[in-house]
């Protein structure tokens, strides 16, 4: 595909320029066989609000970060191996158009392009790189993906109990399993999900029971009964 560009001077210079923009806060990007294919600014749906992010597409990874000074300084670098990526086209919303989801086992998130044509180009190039990598490595496409976090502004009430109203004093939390916005009472549990983190993560009560039941069938039902009896007193 682009292997003939891997060891060229122009490719090395382009990758070095990206490394310089991230500076000491970023990781080295120059490795044998890696080619920088393109870059662009996409809007990423973040927890608080949509934010512009710089994206760099290589033949084996997708790199993105926060823009400090465009084309000069970036930070908060993230590196995603393309062989772990699955894409899903999404419908437009009132706030964001030309959306699609980038799904991986560790993190999934929604981005949008400035135009439909730009979205098609991004998805086309990404899918081509992913196909090439999977063919090269003999791996199968990933089937397990982390849930994207639903933005804070999407709801004013807990998405589990539908009773608790969020305020300055009543904080929003996110379940790391389903991505729902939940209250503290509906997300008291922690569960170890090695795919996402070496530490136990906050999950909503429903996901906790489901995860527990998957590993210890019957135990989640017992805990649920005890919790119900306790609440009735």
Q: Which has the minimum average pLDDT: 102-116, 123-137, 210-224?
A: 210-224
Report the greatest alpha carbon distance in the chain: 74
Q: Which has the minimum average pLDDT: 27-41, 81-95, 192-206, 211-225?
A: 211-225
- Class at the top of the CATH hierarchy for domain 3-137: mainly beta
Q: Which residues are bridge partners to 112 per DSSP?
A: 43, 99
Nearest to 122 by CA among 26, 56, 175, 65: 56
Domain boundaries, the chain: 3-137, 152-232
pLDDT score for 232: 45
User: E strand or H helix at 89, and its extent?
Assistant: strand 86-89
Q: Which residues are bridge partners to 135 per DSSP?
A: none
Alpha carbon distance 186, 161 (integer Å): 7
pLDDT score for 61: 96
Q: How confident is the prediction for the chain on average, in pLDDT? A: 89
For residue 217, what pLDDT band results from cuts at 50, 70 and 90? low
The per-residue b/e assignment along 36-67, b for 16 or more CB within 10 angstroms, e otherwise, is: bbeeeebbbbeeeebeebbbbbbbbbbbbbbb
Alpha carbon distance 111, 107 (integer Å): 13
Q: Residues 77-88: what's their mean pLDDT? A: 95
Name residue, tokens 């509906």: 186
Answer yes or no: are the C-beta atoms of 152 and 48 closer than 8 Å: yes
Query: Do 152-232 and 3-137 have the same topology in CATH?
Result: no
The number of residues in the chain equals 233
pLDDT score for 196: 84
Q: Residues 26-34: what's their mean pLDDT? A: 93
Total H helices, total E strands in the chain: 4, 11
Q: Residues 74-79: what's their mean pLDDT? A: 96
Percent of the chain with pLDDT over 70: 92
**Residue 217, number of CB atoms within 10 A of its CB:** 9
Alpha-carbon separation of residue 114 from 97, 117, 191 (angstroms) = 8, 9, 38
pTM of the model: 0.81
**Residue 78, number of CB atoms within 10 A of its CB:** 16
Q: Which has the minimum average pLDDT: 11-25, 103-117, 128-142, 195-209?
A: 128-142
Alpha carbon distance 6, 95 (integer Å): 39
**Residue 112, number of CB atoms within 10 A of its CB:** 20
- Class at the top of the CATH hierarchy for domain 152-232: alpha beta
For residue 1, what pLDDT band results from cuts at 50, 70 and 90? low
Answer yes or no: are the C-beta atoms of 221 and 195 closer than 8 Å: no
Q: Is the pLDDT of residue 160 over 80?
A: yes
Phi-psi domain of 232 (left: phi exceeds 0; alpha: psi -120 through 50; beta: other): alpha
* End-to-end CA separation in angstroms for the chain: 67
For residue 233, what pLDDT band results from cuts at 50, 70 and 90? very low
pLDDT score for 85: 95
């Amino acid at each position: 595909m682009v292997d003939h560009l891997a060891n060229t001077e122009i490719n090395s210079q382009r990758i070095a320029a990206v490394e310089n923009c991230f500076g000491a806060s970023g990781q080295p990007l120059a490795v044998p066989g890696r080619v920088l294919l393109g870059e662009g600014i996409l809007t990423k749906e973040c927890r608080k609000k949509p934010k512009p992010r710089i994206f760099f597409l290589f033949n084996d990874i997708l790199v993105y970060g926060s823009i400090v000074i465009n084309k000069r300084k970036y930070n908060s670098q993230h590196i995603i191996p393309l062989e772990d990526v699955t894409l899903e086209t999404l419908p437009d919303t009132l706030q964001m158009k030309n959306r699609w989801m980038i799904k991986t086992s560790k993190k999934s998130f929604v981005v949008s392009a400035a135009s439909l044509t730009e979205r098609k180009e991004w998805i086309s190039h990404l899918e081509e790189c992913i196909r090439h990598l999977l063919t090269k490595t003999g791996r199968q496409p990933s089937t397990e993906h982390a849930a994207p976090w639903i933005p804070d502004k999407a709801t004013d009430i807990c998405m589990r109990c539908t009773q608790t109203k969020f305020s300055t004093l009543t904080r929003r939390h996110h379940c790391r399993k389903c991505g729902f916005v939940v209250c503290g009472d509906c997300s008291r549990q922690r569960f170890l999900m090695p795919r996402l983190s070496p530490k136990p993560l906050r999950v909503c009560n429903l996901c906790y029971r489901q995860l527990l039941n998957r590993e210890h069938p019957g135990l989640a039902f017992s805990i649920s009964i005890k919790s119900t009896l306790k609440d009735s007193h």
